[in-house]
């Protein structure tokens, strides 16, 4: 054999890799075969009609399991752990039991199970009983490759599954977020598996995987705490565009008991109808409105006074003292309408007592003068029970004493009497939260009385607001609606949990996840807490990317009104998405934004230096269109995003039909292969513009281009 022949032979690593791929393909085939068997069995079981409540509950569990298995087509297996004791475990999107679940080891362990945690946390320094970690790259039912990571110290990396992670980060962006259970890193896994008691605030700069962590945390919590599935989880995002971007992640992870919303869509039947100034939005976002709304609502409860009612032509007066006692009892700890309902019941009782007392007084007077006649009537009635029944006579008609049944029937008649109801409704009317908010915000005297903290200038700016709901008014409506309560009791029954929860403003969730949480006003935080009284909340965001009109610049300031000091902070410090070449530009921007934080550490380079072009004002649209065409050609199969100041969006969208052209605020949370940043100076000049520029710079995974506007010198 010649030397040339030897150089063409495959090396041992290549042979070993091919063998490993073949082995994992066999395992994947076996897992899919078993999964398909489970799906057929579930379909057969689900075809049997439910006969009782227990069967219905079992059907819901089977439907959930079927959904998990169906969505696991991609990533059914993505990892493997080889232990020091030579045992082998495969990990995937969902657990797949062996043919005999009682005897056989699972074919696949759910990534959320405790047994899978070492896949994300084992290191060479702390191998946790593991000898090797293997990442398995698949496309549906085909194994594409494997990446082995010995845990004996022979390799040095602070990333888990570096090869698989960098391969995933280098893939083209599709405009939709993908699940990342296969490539989660240790600090991310720590957040995902953190306890669910109390608020957890996760600070993470651009590209640290905040959203990925938040969504995988939802999946983990629902898997670990079954009670959450019964209550549902609310996922709050900054925009509907963002919610659409993440829409497929949770179903892909096997979770469907989720309601996705923005703060603007949390109140059913209410929608944002107009834009508002940042100054007014900041005023209406302050925590002081919660106290103001509470005191204003309390003032709407009528004051005690004599209440005059008519029953069957007779007038009755309930004195102010009894009304005062009834009000005190009804309003204790209840909403306006709940107290109103309890008070009405108490008035029905008081009126019933008054009517009974009068009847018995009249009968007593009659008996005093007509003893002989009544004795004869009583004797006659005793001889004919049928007669009494036929005439509808009550106990008092027979023997002068009202029975308990008589009194209850009388009370029921009073409770549905239209005349009594009309008097009570006029004295204590049912109220609508939107009408009351319009009245409060449109009346200078009411604002002076109930929101005395506002200055004359601030009140005037509120009074000048046009008709139509603004974003900052949604939390005010929600606060009033909660304090007023629903005038009708009960709610929708049946249907999917997510549909029922989304339709009800007063639904209480088991957990709430908030993405881009730095944007929430103090009143929006109040909205969140009403929906999760347990405070089981995960808030992820980057305080340095805050662009909302509120004034807080630290997490302590942001959540103090909601949580006080009873919250926990976690930090994500590694940037996976944005390349080093781009992150190098961010430190000066952060300083100009007033931040004292360091940008996250980027762990990858794209090999493409950020570039800049200059253009005159008149040529912006044409030059932007040309550059986007070049970027799209370079990143075929991926995505290109254009970020620009608000005032330039209309012209750029007209010049770039079909392209994604967004403000820095709307780009938050999104990512593209390449970003064209148009007029960075214009973004920096906007309110909290340096924060916005920090967002705009860090949206790309590969390439950043900037188009600067220069003034023509004559």
209-265 residue pLDDT tens: 888 888 889 888 888 887 887 788 899 998 887 788 777 666 655 556 788 899 999
Mark residue 611 as left, alpha or beta (left: phi above 0; alpha: psi -120 to 50; beta: remaining).
beta
Question: Where does 620-679 have alpha helices with state H?
Answer: 620-634, 649-655, 664-667
Q: How far apart are CA 344 and CA 346, in angstroms?
A: 5
Q: What is the pLDDT of the chain when averaged over all its residues?
A: 87
The pLDDT confidence band at residue 383, using thresholds 50, 70 and 90, is: very low
| pTM as predicted | 0.79
Give the H/E segment covering residue 174. none
The pLDDT confidence band at residue 5, using thresholds 50, 70 and 90, is: very low
Cα–Cα distances in angstroms (integers) from residue 53 to residues 196, 368, 495, 497, in the given order: 30, 61, 15, 16
Task: Calculate the dihedral angle through the C-alpha atoms of 473, 474, 478, 484, rounding to the nearest 10 degrees.
Answer: 50
Return all residues near 530 (Cβ < 8 A) that are at least 6 apart: 478, 482, 506
Q: End-to-end CA distance of the chain, in Å? A: 77
> What pLDDT, on the 0 to 100 scale, is given for residue 126?
86
The pLDDT confidence band at residue 177, using thresholds 50, 70 and 90, is: very low
pLDDT in tens, 52-90: 888 888 888 888 888 888 888 888 998 999 999 999 999
> What pLDDT, on the 0 to 100 scale, is given for residue 57?
80
> What pLDDT, on the 0 to 100 scale, is given for residue 212?
85
| pLDDT > 90 fraction of the chain, expressed in percent and rounded | 62
> What pLDDT, on the 0 to 100 scale, is given for residue 491?
46
> What pLDDT, on the 0 to 100 scale, is given for residue 489?
47
pLDDT in tens, 560-604: 999 999 999 999 999 988 999 999 999 999 999 989 888 999 988
Mean pLDDT for the stretch of residues 454-460: 97
**150 against 674, higher pLDDT:** 674
Q: Which of 449, 464, 487, 488 is nearest to 277 (CA)?
A: 464
Write down all domains in the chain, each with its CATH number in brackets: 12-156 (no CATH), 176-266+505-576 (3.40.50.300), 325-427 (no CATH), 598-710 (3.40.50.300)
> What pLDDT, on the 0 to 100 scale, is given for residue 58?
86
The pLDDT confidence band at residue 388, using thresholds 50, 70 and 90, is: very low
Sign for the CA dihedral angle at 405, 407, 411, 413 comes to positive
pLDDT in tens, 390-409: 334 455 554 556 789 989 99
Mean pLDDT for the stretch of residues 278-285: 97
> What pLDDT, on the 0 to 100 scale, is given for residue 13?
63
Q: How far apart are CA 263 and CA 265, in angstroms?
A: 5
For the record, the structure tokens of 240 come out as 């509907």
């Amino acid at each position: 054999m010649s030397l040339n022949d030897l150089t063409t032979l495959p090396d041992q690593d290549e042979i070993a890799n091919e063998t490993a791929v073949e082995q994992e393909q066999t395992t994947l085939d076996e897992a899919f075969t078993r999964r398909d068997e489970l799906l057929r069995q579930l379909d057969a079981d689900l075809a049997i009609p439910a006969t009782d409540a227990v069967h219905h509950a079992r059907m819901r569990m089977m439907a959930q399991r079927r959904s998990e298995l169906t969505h696991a087509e991609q990533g059914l297996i993505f990892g493997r752990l080889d232990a020091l004791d030579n045992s082998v475990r495969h990990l995937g999107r969902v657990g797949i039991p062996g043919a005999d679940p009682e005897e056989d080891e699972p074919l696949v362990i759910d990534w959320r199970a405790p047994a899978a945690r070492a896949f994300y946390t084992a290191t060479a320094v702390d191998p946790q009983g593991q000898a090797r970690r293997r990442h398995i790259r698949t496309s549906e039912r085909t194994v594409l490759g494997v990446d082995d990571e010995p845990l004996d110290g022979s390799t040095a990396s602070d990333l888990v599954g570096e090869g698989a992670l960098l391969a995933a980060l280098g893939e083209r962006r599709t405009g939709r977020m993908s699940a990342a259970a296969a490539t989660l890193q240790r600090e991310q896994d720590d957040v995902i598996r953190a306890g669910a008691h109390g608020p957890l605030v996760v600070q993470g700069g651009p590209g640290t995987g905040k959203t990925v962590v938040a969504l995988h945390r939802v999946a983990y919590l629902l898997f670990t705490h079954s009670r959450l599935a019964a209550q549902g989880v609310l996922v709050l995002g900054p925009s509907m565009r963002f919610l659409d971007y993440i829409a497929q992640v949770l179903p892909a992870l096997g979770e469907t008991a989720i309601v996705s919303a923005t703060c603007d869509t949390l109140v059913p039947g209410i929608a944002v109808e107009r834009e508002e100034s940042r100054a007014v939005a900041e005023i209406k976002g302050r925590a002081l409105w919660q106290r103001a709304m509470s005191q204003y609502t309390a003032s709407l409860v009528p004051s005690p006074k004599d209440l005059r009612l008519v029953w069957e032509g007779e007038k009755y007066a309930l004195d102010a003292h009894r009304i005062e006692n009834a009000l005190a009892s009804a309003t204790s700890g209840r909403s306006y309408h709940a107290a109103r309902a309890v008070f009405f019941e108490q008035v029905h009782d008081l009126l019933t007592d008054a009517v009974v007392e009068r009847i018995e007084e009249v009968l007593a007077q009659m008996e005093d003068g007509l003893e002989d006649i009544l004795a004869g009537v009583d004797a006659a009635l005793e001889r004919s029970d049928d007669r009494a029944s036929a005439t509808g006579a009550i106990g008092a008609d027979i023997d002068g004493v009202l029975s308990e049944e008589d009194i209850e029937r009388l009370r029921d008649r009073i409770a549905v009497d239209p005349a009594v109801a009309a008097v009570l409704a006029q004295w204590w009317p049912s109220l609508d939260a939107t009408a009351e908010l319009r009245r409060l915000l449109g009346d200078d005297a009411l604002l002076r009385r109930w929101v005395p903290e506002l200055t004359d200038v601030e009140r005037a700016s509120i009074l000048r607001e046009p008709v139509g709901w603004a974003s900052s008014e949604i939390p005010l409506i929600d606060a009033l609606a909660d304090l007023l309560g629903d005038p009708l009791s009960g709610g929708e029954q049946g249907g999917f949990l997510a549909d029922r929860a989304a339709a009800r403003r007063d639904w209480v969730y088991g957990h709430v996840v908030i993405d881009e949480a730095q944007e929430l006003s103090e009143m929006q935080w109040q909205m969140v807490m009403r929906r999760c009284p347990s405070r089981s909340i995960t808030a992820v965001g980057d305080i340095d990317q805050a662009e909302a009109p509120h004034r807080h610049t630290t997490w302590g300031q942001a959540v103090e009104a909601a949580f006080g000091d009873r919250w926990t902070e976690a930090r994500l410090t590694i940037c996976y998405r944005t390349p080093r070449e781009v992150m190098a530009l961010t430190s000066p921007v952060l300083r100009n934004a007033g931040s004292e934080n360091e940008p996250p550490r980027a762990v990858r380079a794209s090999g493409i230096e950020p570039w800049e072009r200059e253009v005159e004002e008149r040529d912006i649209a044409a030059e932007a269109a040309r550059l986007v065409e070049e970027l799209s050609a370079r990143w075929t199969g991926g995505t290109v995003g254009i970020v620009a100041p608000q005032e330039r969006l209309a012209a750029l969208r007209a010049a770039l039909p079909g392209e994604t052209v967004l403000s820095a605020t709307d780009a938050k949370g999104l990512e593209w292969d390449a970003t064209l940043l148009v007029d960075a100076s214009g973004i920096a000049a906007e309110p909290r513009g340096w924060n916005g520029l920090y967002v705009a710079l860090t949206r790309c995974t590969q390439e950043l281009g900037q188009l600067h506007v220069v003034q023509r010198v004559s």
